[in-house]
């Protein structure tokens, strides 16, 4: 007969400890998708976001509506540039198995016009998180970098390419943090995975990006701005769920220091994207030409490393991605569907 004491010990040993993850930028496009994904997988998620006005904070509040009251979610409305507030948050939480650092000022063109805020947030803010990750012995630090870091390199982009010559302050600040993370790995053994994201598509995609703008243009007659030749300008669109799976894989594997492309290895021209949207929505798209500095002509990822290390399989086609987003879009409230944003 098993004693009550042994029963208690056995029960305690068999109980699985919930993994705790900090997601910065949790109210943004990628962050809100990742947070929901991790909660559905049984993680405890601490979200950090300052709800800045790069685009309407109402949209960010909307992004977290489905999980803000989840029992395994806690939100800090904190600016990563506030060193004291970041320190207090870590002191209160004590332990994180992983940090997924997504918070940043994004956008190539806007960074050319406003470089100071990109340096302050993307570099200094990231450093505030990195130092706390070392202090509290975080299991793995996962950093969201960008495909635009490759600049004018020949395609397809491979992780071993020289990325010292980005075309704008935004990717330059991402490169700076990649290098900073390497030094913290080397000096403090901070386990680090850097993902260079290539044009993720899915529900909640940032409203100032191409797909939601095209759908609004087709549905409501808005003009879609064209900044480059729509036949030669190409992007490597990638279904966001495949990226979430890769992030979870990196959290569990805890690589020492890796830089990994997350793309689709299938660049699509803007004209083909426009044609696909017109086919799904059923209306033609009106366009206008505008100059736009700092943009890359083509993004095109070699994803061999992601496949090897993470069994990454970006199998969702562009038409499927558009269809998934469009069906989600139609279910959203009118204020969200008809919003106009310019950056």
- Residue 180 belongs to what domain range? 17-202+238-265+299-316
What is the rounded distance in angstroms from the CA atom of residue 147 to the CA atom of residue 246? 16
Note the pLDDT tens digit of each residue in 116-165: 999 999 999 999 999 999 999 999 999 999 999 999 999 999 999 999 99
Please report, for the domain that includes residue 92, its CATH number.
3.40.50.720
Cα dihedral: 326, 327, 332, 334 (round 10)? 60
In a domain, 85, yes or no: yes
In a domain, 58, yes or no: yes
In a domain, 117, yes or no: yes
Residue 214 has pLDDT above 50, yes or no: yes
What is the reported pTM? 0.92
Active site residues: 170
pLDDT reported for residue 227: 80
Q: Dig out the tokens for 257 from the structure.
A: 């220091």
212 cis-preceded (ω within 30 degrees of 0):
no
Beta-carbon-side half-sphere exposure of residue 80 (alpha carbons within 13 Å): 31
pLDDT band at 250 (very low <50, low <70, confident <90, very high): very high
In a domain, 59, yes or no: yes
Count of structural domains within the chain:
1
Note the pLDDT tens digit of each residue in 12-71: 433 467 999 999 999 999 999 999 999 999 999 999 999 998 889 999 999 999 999 999
List C-alpha distances in Å: 88 to 76, 82, 91. Answer: 11, 10, 5
pLDDT band at 7 (very low <50, low <70, confident <90, very high): very low
SS3 of residue 341 by DSSP? coil
């Amino acid at each position: 007969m098993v004693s009550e004491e042994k029963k208690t010990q056995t029960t305690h040993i068999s109980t699985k400890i919930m993994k705790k993850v900090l997601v910065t930028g949790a109210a943004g496009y990628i962050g809100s998708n990742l947070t929901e994904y991790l909660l559905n997988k049984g993680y405890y998620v601490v979200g950090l976001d300052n709800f800045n006005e790069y685009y309407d904070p109402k949209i960010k509040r909307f992004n977290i509506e489905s999980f803000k009251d989840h029992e395994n979610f806690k939100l800090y409305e904190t600016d990563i540039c506030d060193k004291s507030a970041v320190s207090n948050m870590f002191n209160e939480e004590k332990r994180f198995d992983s940090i997924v650092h997504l918070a940043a000022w994004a956008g190539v063109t806007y960074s050319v016009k406003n470089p100071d805020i990109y340096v302050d947030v993307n570099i200094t803010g990231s450093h505030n998180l990195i130092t706390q990750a070392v202090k509290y012995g975080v299991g793995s630090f996962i950093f969201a970098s960008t495909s635009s870091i490759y600049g004018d390199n020949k395609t397809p982009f491979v992780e071993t390419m020289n990325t010292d010559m980005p075309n704008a302050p935004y990717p330059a600040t991402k490169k700076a943090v990649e290098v900073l993370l390497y030094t913290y790995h080397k000096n403090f053994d901070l386990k680090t995975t850097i993902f260079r994201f290539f044009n993720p598509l899915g529900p909640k995609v940032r409203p100032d990006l191409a797909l939601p703008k095209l759908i609004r243009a087709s549905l409501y007659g808005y003009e879609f701005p064209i900044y480059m030749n729509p036949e030669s300008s190409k992007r490597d669109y990638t279904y966001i769920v495949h990226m979430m799976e890769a992030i979870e894989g990196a959290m569990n594997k805890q690589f020492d220091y890796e830089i990994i492309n997350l793309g689709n290895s299938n660049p699509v021209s803007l004209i083909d994207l426009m044609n696909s949207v017109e086919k799904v929505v059923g209306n033609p798209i009106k366009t206008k030409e505008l100059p736009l500095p700092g943009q890359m002509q083509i993004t095109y990822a070699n994803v061999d490393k992601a496949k090897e290390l993470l069994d990454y399989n970006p199998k969702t086609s562009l038409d499927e991605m558009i269809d998934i987003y469009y069906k989600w879009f139609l279910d959203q409230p009118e204020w969200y569907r008809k919003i106009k944003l310019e950056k």
